[in-house]
Amino acid sequence: MTLPGAPFVAYRGTELFIDGCAASELAARFGTPLYVYSRRAMLAALAPYQRALAGREHLICYAMKASSSLAVLQTFAQAGCGFDIVSGGELDRVLAAGGDPGKVVFSGLGKTRAEMRRALEIGVRCFNVESEAELDVLSEVALSLGRVAPVSLRVNPDVDAKTHPYISTGLKGNKFGIAHDRAVAAYRRAAQLPGLKVVGIDCHIGSQITEIAPYLDAADRVLDLVEAIESSGLRIHHLDLGGGLGIQYTDERPPAADALIGALLARLDARGHGARTLVFEPGRSLVGNAGVLLSEVLYLKPGTHKNFCVVDAAMNDLMRPALYEATMSIVPCRLRDGVPVVYDVVGPVCESGDWLGRDRALALQPGDAVAVLSAGAYGMSMASNYNSRPRAAEVMVDGDVATLIREREPVAELFRGEHLLPAD
């Protein structure tokens, strides 16, 4: 069978392999729940972006909210990427991983003054500003430091990305960006503020997008604004067209990254904007299919209406199914003989929403390991300690070499910063 993440996630005989490592052996060696990522799969996902943009002035900024572990960031930094960040904590992670702050774009609609100050002191490439009020605050903070903040305004093009409403970001009803009909006035305002320098324009319409058309619609809307802004005397140096390209979880068929970039470049060329510096912010498409979540089967629980496969991973480890009702492939780490039984795959957390997959036909026994596929994006980065459960360990594989990149969280760490009330 061909699995999401192939060829880096595939069966060899009866054993599931992640790159050159057997999944069942990784589960036994490092314990479960366990996130495993293929370094070679991440670089293979990056390659079509780099090929399509070869010869163009560009910067690929990995959207690190998808997966922010230091070894993941290190992999992309060493490959020449910059980073799209949305918090001061993410900026510190970039620095800890050896990333170049001059290749960082700071997005997010709720930046604090402290975060702005830190980013200015470090010297990020650009702030993607999301409101006119933020322009005033950023200018004030920059002047207090004797700096000028480079800014790109994130505009909301009111384009339907045709994705889940929780991850659609480019409609007028979404909280993100400056409304399309306010953009020109906002740019004029930014140009008048002494602490700011206008350098670009930014647009991001959503995540898990599986069609090219919404990107082209958004690009046309952005180019209309660029032409209107520049007709008033301002100069836009770069176009940031965001990210959001989808991956295969089950039967999705998103366009290849180079096909998407090629279509966008053709549209820019046709409208006379091909010489501009381009910024892209892929996240999920670089890491999603490169990661899996391994879990042990604890109990098989038959019922009158449902059969349950209880595993040791839960919604605190992987939030996507509970949050988005996301469907992700779940497969045994070792195929066994026997008639498959239809199970809901659930975790130990005390919520009915704690499920990883529904109605899955699986041949399993307690003690077997299963793999939730396409878990590299928004898995570990959204993990929590709900029910006082420690977060999973993480492993990076490169060929047949497996490296522990995050230790399993000790229970004592969960309450290390807490304090009992004084004794009476």
Q: What residues are designated binding site for pyridoxal 5'-phosphate?
A: 244, 281-284, 378
Binding residues, as ranges, are: 244, 281-284, 320, 324, 351, 378
> And the tokens for 247?
């991956």
Q: Please, are residues 82 and 101 in contact by the beta-carbon 8 Å criterion?
A: no
Residue with tokens 């409609």: 171
Written in H, E and C, the secondary structure of the chain is: CCCCCCCCEEEECCEEEECCEEHHHHHHHHCCCEEEEEHHHHHHHHHHHHHHHCCCCEEEEEEHHHCCCHHHHHHHHHCCCEEEECCHHHHHHHHHCCCCHHHEEECCCCCCHHHHHHHHHHCCCEEEECCHHHHHHHHHHHHHCCCCEEEEEEEECCCCCCCCHHHECCCCCCCCCEEHHHHHHHHHHHHHCCCEEEEEEECCCECCECCCHHHHHHHHHHHHHHHHHHHCCCCCCEEECCCCECCCCCCCCCCCHHHHHHHHHHHHHHCCCCCCEEEECCCHHHHHHHEEEEEEEEEEECCCCCCEEEECCCCCCCCHHHHHCCCCCEEECECCCCCCEEEEEECCCCCCCCEEEEEEEECCCCCCEEEECCCCCCCHHHCCCHHHCCCCEEEEEECCEEEEEECCCCHHHHCCCCCCCCCC
Q: How many CB atoms lie within 10 A of CB 272?
A: 10
- Binding-site entries for substrate: 284, 320, 324, 351, 378
CA distance 219 to 389: 44
- One-letter amino acid of 97: A
Residue numbers annotated as active site: 350
CA distances from 368 to 93, 316, 337, 383, 413 (A): 35, 21, 13, 23, 29
